[in-house]
């Protein structure tokens, strides 16, 4: 795993190697084992290396044997040995064991068509010296990032925005609509970023640019949800398990120690089971827990570790959130408000002390239906089909009779939200479940200052999600859960979850690999009928039943907990004073985004128990830290990561 950067000049001049060095210096956490720079007429490439395969011979940038195609590459290609054999049969000659060299030869052979042949995770920058053409490419689901901007000088790209910000000509104007999207979704979805002019390349995309022309961006892969399997349910269970084992085996290739995150949930446990089947020796597994029982899953992780005889380590941490937040904000480059980034950082930090590569269970929820809101969509469909509009109106009014102190707590809150939102169409109901109504359009408008609201103009943030739902309906049909599953794989998975894991793990120089996001597993999951995944009473049905007799029953059929933090408690107690001081400081208020009295109301209503504003407050806190650590910053975080307290 690595960090990449590059500059392609519009006039064919040789980029300044000092600029390449400045870019890659910001990426040292992604590649602490070495660096490389290459400046040539028209193009400069930079690289920071985390050595995984061919430790001696894998230095980058790297070219084919004719030095026609130069590559800087972040990721792992799991089928590189097969591709190499085929290329050798066609006359190509290799000098290393690196998958990077295979990419260079493949681009020489196929140009933009090369990337569809790659099985793995990748962000690639490649320069064809003969055609004077740049290629930028990302893997199918978007595990590895690549950002870029173009101006009159040329086109620049990098693994992280902070590397682009090292360039004097990099755009720094804030995109107000992106900020509105951030508050709506906790991260900025799609190809836009917080900066106008800087873009993120979409998953499964190839950007091709020849100086003097416009960049062309093409999609080389789309997941087809319309074609369903002809296998029986029992055969599909067996096939699913085979695919997971095969995908896991492919991800065990490395010249460094490998382990696995083990949360005790179905997804990571299934991966550990597959690792145990494929490995000659004991698997190394790592879990993280918290003192609060409601947030601690370690006993389930321990069940799986004992069943497979893993070398298991647990870390119970007391996160010092106040000290960690500036570090998180610096690493995430742009506002990011999924609070599970904090425990993900901690488990990555602890795991990196023992191994360089860790497998995880990412993708199981989105492809096999793990979220409760999928079942809620089925309940809503039943509710709308068996009740009249008048009866639904009565049910909504009835929830208002609860005392105010109870309306926002536990099951009563869920009942009230369901009664209020389930009257509408499925796409709107899914949207309300997705963002938990935390910052819907009305809530954002109440928060915004008059000046910011006027500058922003009409907000269209919800249209992004609803547009994907409409697109999904056109492909998969009227089933709201199928629509939600497809939408989540296009938005929530690549734009929030994979961003979280990539940044948190790379912050500590740990490579993570995701067997459940192998192309074969994703395509098979999309072919399965929804009823094999989600019913009104069960999530991940086929994934669980495929592992009956493999994983402990209590692990398969326990209630989903999620990788969350006690935020509500923190903002009422430990973080109350800190939050007031941070968000109500003149420095913060003077940014002009929010009305001071609206921010203060969020803080005080939460402390008094009138509202659960924990997610809203976290989003505002992370936004303010982003301003301080990135926009007003230095080339390195002002607070180095504080070690967790380990029990």
C-alpha distances (whole Å) from 324 to each of 639, 640, 641 are 8, 8, 6
The Cα–Cα gap between 275 and 286 comes to 14
HSE-up of 351 (CA within 13 Å, CB side)? 32
Which residue matches tokens 């084919």?
64
Tokens of 161: 């925005």
User: Any residues with CB less than 8 A from the CB of 134 and at least 6 apart, and which?
Assistant: 6, 8, 43, 125, 126, 127, 128, 155, 207, 208, 209, 210
Tokens of 553: 């029953």
The Cα–Cα gap between 78 and 528 comes to 25
Q: What angle do CA 187, 189, 191 make, to 5 degrees?
A: 130
The answer to whether the beta carbons of residues 314 and 300 sit under 8 Å apart is no
The Cα–Cα gap between 596 and 449 comes to 8
> Would you call 2 a catalytic residue per the annotation?
yes
* Strand-strand pairing, 133-138 and 147-151: unpaired
- Cis amide linkage into residue 61, ω under 30° from 0: yes
Strand order through the sheet with 199-200: 34-40, 43-49, 2-9, 154-158, 147-151, 199-200
C-alpha distances (whole Å) from 237 to each of 308, 363, 481 are 21, 17, 20
Residues constituting the chain: 647
The answer to whether the beta carbons of residues 34 and 15 sit under 8 Å apart is no
Q: Which helix (H) or strand (E) holds 7?
A: strand 2-9
Q: Which helix (H) or strand (E) holds 273?
A: helix 266-278
Which residue matches tokens 């109350």?
576
The Cα–Cα gap between 99 and 82 comes to 11
The Cα–Cα gap between 120 and 100 comes to 12
User: Any residues with CB less than 8 A from the CB of 549 and at least 6 apart, and which?
Assistant: none
Q: Which of 2, 43, 69, 170 is catalytic?
A: 2
Q: Which helix (H) or strand (E) holds 569?
A: helix 567-572
Q: Is 316 helix (H, G, I), strand (E, B) or coil?
A: strand
The answer to whether the beta carbons of residues 151 and 9 sit under 8 Å apart is no
The answer to whether the beta carbons of residues 417 and 400 sit under 8 Å apart is no
Active site residues: 2
């Amino acid at each position: 795993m690595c960090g990449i950067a590059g500059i392609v000049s519009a006039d064919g001049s040789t980029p300044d190697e000092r600029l390449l060095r400045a870019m890659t210096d910001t990426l040292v956490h992604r590649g602490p084992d070495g660096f490389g720079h290459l400046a040539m007429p028209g193009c400069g490439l930079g690289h920071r290396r985390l050595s995984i395969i061919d430790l001696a011979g894998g230095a980058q940038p790297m070219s084919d044997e004719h030095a026609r195609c130069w590559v800087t590459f972040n990721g792992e290609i799991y089928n590189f040995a097969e591709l190499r054999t085929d290329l050798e049969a066609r006359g190509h000659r290799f000098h290393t064991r690196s998958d990077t060299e295979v990419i260079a030869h493949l681009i020489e052979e196929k140009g933009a068509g090369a990337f569809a042949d790659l099985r793995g995770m990748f962000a690639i920058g490649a320069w064809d010296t003969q055609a004077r053409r740049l290629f930028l490419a990302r893997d199918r689901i978007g595990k590895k990032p690549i950002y870029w901007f173009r101006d009159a000088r040329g086109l620049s790209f990098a693994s992280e925005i902070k590397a682009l910000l090292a360039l004097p000509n990099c755009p720094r104007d804030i995109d107000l609509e992106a900020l509105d999207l951030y508050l709506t979704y906790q991260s900025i979805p799609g190809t836009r970023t917080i900066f106008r002019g800087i873009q993120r390349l979409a998953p499964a995309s190839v950007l091709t640019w020849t100086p003097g022309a416009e960049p062309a961006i093409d999609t080389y892969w789309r997941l087809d949800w319309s074609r369903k399997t002809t296998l029986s349910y029992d055969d599909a269970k067996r096939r699913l398990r085979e695919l997971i084992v095969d995908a896991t085996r492919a991800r065990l290739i490395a010249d460094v120690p490998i382990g696995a995150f083990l949360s005790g949930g179905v997804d990571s446990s299934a991966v550990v089971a597959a690792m145990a089947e494929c490995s000659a020796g004991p698997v190394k597994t790592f879990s993280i827990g918290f003192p609060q029982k409601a947030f601690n899953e370690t006993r389930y992780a321990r069940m799986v570790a004992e069943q497979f005889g893993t070398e298991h380590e647990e870390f119970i941490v007391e996160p010092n959130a106040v000290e960690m937040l500036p570090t998180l904000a610096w690493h995430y480059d742009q506002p990011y408000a999924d609070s599970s980034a904090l425990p993900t950082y901690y488990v990555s930090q602890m795991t990196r002390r023992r191994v360089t590569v860790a497998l995880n269970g990412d993708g199981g929820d989105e492809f096999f239906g793990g979220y409760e809101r999928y079942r809620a969509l089925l309940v809503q469909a039943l509710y709308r089909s068996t009740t009249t509009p008048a009866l639904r109106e009565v049910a909504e009014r009835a929830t208002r009779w609860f005392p105010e102190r109870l309306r926002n707590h536990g099951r009563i809150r869920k009942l009230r939200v369901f009664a209020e939102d389930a009257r509408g169409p499925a796409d709107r109901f899914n949207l309300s479940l997705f963002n938990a109504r935390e910052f819907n359009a009305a809530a954002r408008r109440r928060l915004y200052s008059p000046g910011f609201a006027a500058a922003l103009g009409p907000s269209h943030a919800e249209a992004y999600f609803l547009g994907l739902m409409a697109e999904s309906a056109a492909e998969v049909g009227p089933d709201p859960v199928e629509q939600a599953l497809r939408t989540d794989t296009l938005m929530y998975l690549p734009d929030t979850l994979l961003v979280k894991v990539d940044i948190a793990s790379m912050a500590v120089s740990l490579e993570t690999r995701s067997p459940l996001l192998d192309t074969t597993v994703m395509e098979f999951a999309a072919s399965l009928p929804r009823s094999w995944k989600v019913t009104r009473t069960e999530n991940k049905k086929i994934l669980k039943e495929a592992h009956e007799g493999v994983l402990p029953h209590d692990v398969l059929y326990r209630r989903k907990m999620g990788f969350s933090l006690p935020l509500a408690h923190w903002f009422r107690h430990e973080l109350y004073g800190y939050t007031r001081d941070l968000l109500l400081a003149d420095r913060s208020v003077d940014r002009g985004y929010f009305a001071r009295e609206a921010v203060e109301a969020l803080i005080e209503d939460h402390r008094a128990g009138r509202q659960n504003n924990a997610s809203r407050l976290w989003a505002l806190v992370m936004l303010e830290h982003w301003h301080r650590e990135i926009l007003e910053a230095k080339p390195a975080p002002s607070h180095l990561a504080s070690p967790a307290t380990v029990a």
